[in-house]
Chain A
Amino acid sequence: MLTIYKLSLRQMLQPRRLLILLFIAATPVALSVVVAIFPPDTEDIVSFRDDFLMGPMVISAVLPIVTVVLATASLGHEIEDQTMAYLFLKPVSRWGIVLPKILATITVAGVVVAGSGVLTTVIVPEGSFVTSASVAAGLALGVVAYTSVFTWAGLMTNHALAFGLVYVFVWEAAIVNFLQGVRWLSIHHYTEATIHGFDDVQFAGDSATLDLGQALPAAGVVIALFVGLTIRRLTRMDVA
């Protein structure tokens, strides 16, 4: 497990892709620096942080983009590059391949995404330890949930990245916003609910947010379901 985990980290830390993801993650941090240098009124700062930096930028863009890119590639690229056989033809159970791959994605995406979110809340005035800790917890949950779904997608289709972006920008950003009854099926909402659950000041004005008591079990089901589906898929598929 540790060998595959280390291998996966090395694959993910290839400079070109990582630099692009870091650039995306740095954007809200850079904007928070601007806000810190030129602070508006206190009320406006909190609103700007929640309604512009954290909501649309970190939770709706940085979190899904970084995680989807890394998760779809973690097993998907092994299939595409025909290197999966190196793992498959070893005395390693299929879950022994899937779990370290997922853990490596969570590690890299978690550091990049949570780093972006926490730095943003730390730099913007009016933040507190609770603000930053709740953001870290919510983003971590989002990273784990997106990773489990899109690692599976990477095994199912060659177009997993496109599938991921459609899920994020069509399903979550458009459809779920109009049909709030299906917010149960939105990782975005689990993330927001977790942040709000630990720090009720954040996203206080968002009536569509799930309760923490609803979001955590729903996220747990999604994570367990898709990790299970990924292991099942790897067990049954033909490997190139």
Chain B
Amino acid sequence: MTLSDYKPVADEPEAVAAYSRLEPTIRVSNVSKWFGDVVSVNDVSLEVRPGLTGLLGPNGAGKTTLLRVICGLTRPSGGEIQVFGEPVRNNPELYRRIGVMPEHQSTYDFMSGRAFVELNARLQRVPDVKSAVDRAIEQVGMHDAQNRSIGEYSRGMKQRMRLAAVMVHDPEILLLDEPLSGTDPRQRIEFQELMVRLASQGRTIMISSHILEEVEAVADRILLLVHGKLAASGDYHVIRQKLSDRPYIVRIGASDVRALAARLITEPFVESISMDGAGHIQIVSRNVRELQRAVPRTAQALGIRLTRIDPLDDSLESVFTYLADR
């Protein structure tokens, strides 16, 4: 199956219903984690079922901490985690069924890529190490570079070899923290196709990212974490719709901002226009696409020269905070 053939569960209502009937593989109940006075994860409860789940949130939202708690690397300050119905902390046998790729992790740079994957296969007690290593390296497209030292790899190559190491024992659950960082666009598509293929085999895959577009094309379900709390969860269309409804603020500089403002305020998609101290206008709109079309068209019709157009609140932080506040 390729990315273009794939439709996330959320695209089809029957599939959504079928998805909710699947037995959860991961259950997180009222989990909190704090470091001193800082609350990183705040009373989060969620269930993850087979398929591809995107864990989204801005940097510092608590995604990494939540994934680390789920996989047992970090002990929660409160709450309970169950994976396949078992507690994960101090339950090493469970790792035969789980593959985890933390975000910031070094590699043993003195090894070749192949030796590194082989090490992971042996630690996982894979019965046929050679064929498991061949398969994992082939899956991430690193066959030609497998015998080079990891220290010589680019960041993207290291990411792929780490992924091969995580998949070498063919786990039923994959927890991947920002797996696409450092990869180029072609590698991203290949990675997404691989995740789709693995998810379609009934595996539970959880991918964290601070970039919605990275996971929306493949995720059956999205969990949105903001300031350590689960701000939204569900299918990505619903979350996408909420994003589209969000008001955008655009700052415009022009040769005659008053004339431009007087015309644009009559447009139905413009909610308000104000002037700032520097002589620019700030337009609030919920239909950014219409606004993008209307501004140059209106300026041309009025013979006005545009000097700048800046979106003011397009940061991911503001997008996620907006969703969290709704």
Contact = CB atoms under 8 A, between A and B. Distances in A.
Contacts, number: 66
A238 B90 CA distance: 11
A207 interface: no
Interface string A1-23: 00110010011001000000000
Given A82-B104, A235-B90, A239-B73, A89 B98 contact: yes
B87 interface: no
Contacts of A86: 105, 108, 119-120, 123, 165
Interface in B68-114: 68, 71-75, 90, 92-96, 98, 100, 102, 104-108, 110-111
Contact of A81 (B68, B92, B106, B111): B106
A37 interface: no
Contact of B95 (A10, A89, A239, A240): A89
Interface in A224-240: 235-236, 238-240
Interface stretch (A50-58, A90-98, A136-144, A157-165): A90-98
Contacts of B122: 3
Given A7-B119, A90-B123, A90-B124, A85 B96 contact: no
A82 B92 contact: no
B95 A85 contact: no
A85 B105 contact: yes
Given A3-B122, A14-B110, A91 B105 contact: no
Contacts of A4: 123
A238 B76 CA distance: 10
A92 B92 contact: yes
Nearest to B92: A91
A176 B94 CA distance: 48
A84 to B, nearest CB: 9
A177 interface: no
Nearest to A237: B75
23 contacts: A3-B122, A3-B123, A7-B108, A11-B108, A81-B106, A82-B102, A85-B100, A86-B105, A86-B119, A86-B120, A86-B165, A89-B71, A89-B72, A89-B100, A90-B92, A90-B120, A91-B94, A91-B96, A92-B92, A238-B68, A238-B75, A239-B73, A240-B73
Interface of B: 68, 71-75, 90, 92-96, 98, 100, 102, 104-108, 110-111, 119-120, 122-125, 165
Interface of A: 3-4, 7, 10-11, 14, 81-83, 85-94, 235-236, 238-240
What are the 4 A-B residue pairs with the smallest beta carbon separation, nearest first?
A: A90-B123, A3-B122, A238-B74, A81-B106
